[in-house]
Chain A
Amino acid sequence: MKFVFTMWKKELRSYFVSPIAYVFLAAYLLIAGLFFYLGVTLTGEASLRVLAGNLAITQIFVLPMLTMRHFAEERRQGTLEMLLTAPIPLWAIVVGKWAASVTLCAIMFAGTLVFPAVLAYYGDPDWGVMLTSYLGLFAVACAFCAAGLFSSSLLDDQMAAGLIGAVILVPFWLVGRAEALVPDEWADRVRPLSLLYHLDSFNRGVLDSMDIYYFVAFTAVFLFLTFRSLESRRWR
């Protein structure tokens, strides 16, 4: 467990001593500000419904860029050799890196807290829904960071890892709109795989255990795949 903390600390430090963290925070807050403005002016509601829904989709493309460097860069720099010859378990490396990315996401979300403050000043927002919206965003971040980490473990090239990360995630978005492509009864079957389907209840202020299971399972599966892919690459 202490090795998870060691990895987490090192990764966060790497984020913040290089421009990466600041560029991401700035870009993310800019996009979030735009969605917030559009959401409030178009619907006239004092809610984060539009913002949260759109941010989740934006994260499909942003978060793989945050995680793409993790293993691709370690391999290129040769630092993976240092990690894998140290007496620490491989899962601790994976979890530590994932936790660092999720932490950076949490910091990005903290930056958006100014929006609820604005809403509270001008209107009367529903705080419960607001809280579950944020929980939903956080759940999405956990899941996407895991998927991004997985694609980083597959490829040596950062850019490729980022792109593949997005490519892995896009189907989970599109499957929610499957009725446009396949007959309705098929669409109903695959819709539970969709991220938006599960995120929707968070944005309505509903905490359903099925939705929580979905995100926990999504995260766990991709962390496990990352672990396996790192392990299997040693054999080739």
Chain B
Amino acid sequence: MIDVQHLTKSYGPRLAVDDVSFSIGKGEVVGFLGPNGAGKTTTMRILTGFLPATGGDVKVAGFDVFDEPMQVKRRVGYLPESPPLYPELTVGTYLEFAAELRGFYGKERLKRVGRVMEQVGLVGWEGRVLGSLSKGYRQRVGLAQALVHEPEVLILDEPTSGLDPTQVMGMRELMRELAATRTVILSTHILGEVEAICPRAMLIAGGKLRASGTIAELREQAPGGVWYYLEVAGAQDREVGALAGVQMVEPLGIDGDFAKLRVRAPADPRELLFRAAAAKGWRVRALEQRLPSLEEAFIGIVGREG
């Protein structure tokens, strides 16, 4: 659905996006992760046709963004970082304007505005002036504007920034519903958001694509990697370390009789540990696999300075 090859964008001498290539299939939901100023917004603006690229090819739904911008714009819904609202208009007149910009008039326009207001939970808010809305509702109106033409591709730039926790939950719920039927790109610097919504993520930093894959794949790329947590009584950490198949054991602390251990092994050693404990009369209270958090993966890949 979206195909980006060697995309480059420079603002004067500053390179904002540096040779980024990726492709996103129909119906996929992808999170753009990255620190502020990483090039996420610039990339999205190029995908929507708002900014021209300096180099590279960008195709959305088979149409080149540069050669056939109108075809692309018709198929894309875009919610910029701050919702593009006219503070003096009411919710109703604003959404009618948005529908007209998409070429819907008369009855069709009213039908679409009604449907989209229902979709984002704005029923009964037609008459409210946009300037008086709370951040959460502003965001909903912004989303409604991006959905009014039922786009195949939805591009959301930090859709939950500045919302309170309840609003964040509501927004995520909404995004999950929308994601069921569309291709969605979502940018954020909140890792939990990507874990909650996107099966796949792309890590962008310093204008470069640093990593791409499913959440699990990204986690495995963290420098710490996978490890196993063991709480055991009646065994020294040296004894556990001596078992065949165990690479390294680190003591993490002691709780009464029980020693808390970090076990590293080339292959999953849980069954092996359990058998060994049973044979030697060790008492095991906990044994589980630990993946590094997305935060750890993020910092590991991007680097602390990112």
Contacts and interface: CB of A to CB of B under 8 A. Distances in A.
A79 B86 CA distance: 7
B11 A236 contact: yes
B230 to A, nearest CB: 53
A85 B103 contact: no
Interface residues of B, number: 32
B89 A17 contact: yes
A18 B89 CA distance: 9
A235 to B, nearest CB: 6
Interface in B87-143: 87-89, 93, 97-98, 100-103, 105
B154 to A, nearest CB: 12
A234 interface: yes
Q: How large is the interface on A (under 10, 10 to 19, 20 to 34, 35 or more residues)?
A: 20 to 34
Contacts of B83: 78
Contact of A81 (B84, B89, B93, B102): B84
A236 B12 CA distance: 7
B74 interface: yes
Nearest to A2: B105
Contacts, number: 70
Interface in A201-236: 234-236
B48 to A, nearest CB: 4
B73 interface: yes
B89 A82 contact: no
Contact of A78 (B48, B84, B93): B84
Nearest to B69: A87
Contacts of A77: 84-87
A78 B48 CA distance: 14
A131 interface: no
A33 to B, nearest CB: 29
Contacts of B70: 87
Interface in A95-129: none
A190 interface: no
Contacts of B45: 81
A26 interface: no
- DSSP majority for the B interface? loop
B75 to A, nearest CB: 9
Contacts of A80: 84
Contact of A87 (B12, B73, B81, B93): B73
B49 interface: yes
Contacts of B98: 82, 86
B43 to A, nearest CB: 14
Contacts of B101: 3, 6, 82-83, 86-88
Contact of B93 (A13, A18, A234): A13
Interface string B42-80: 000100111110000000000000000010011010101
A84 B50 contact: yes
B188 interface: no
Given A84-B50, A85-B49, A234-B52, A18 B88 contact: yes
B82 interface: yes
Contacts of B80: 78, 81-82
Given A14-B88, A85-B50, A6 B100 contact: yes
A13 B83 CA distance: 20
A15 to B, nearest CB: 9
Interface in A1-50: 2-3, 6, 9-10, 13-14, 17-18
Interface of A: 2-3, 6, 9-10, 13-14, 17-18, 77-88, 234-236
12 contacts: A6-B100, A6-B101, A9-B97, A13-B93, A77-B84, A80-B84, A81-B80, A82-B98, A86-B73, A86-B101, A87-B70, A88-B101
Given A13-B93, A86-B102, 10 more contacts: A6-B100, A14-B86, A14-B88, A14-B89, A80-B84, A82-B80, A82-B84, A82-B101, A83-B101, A84-B49
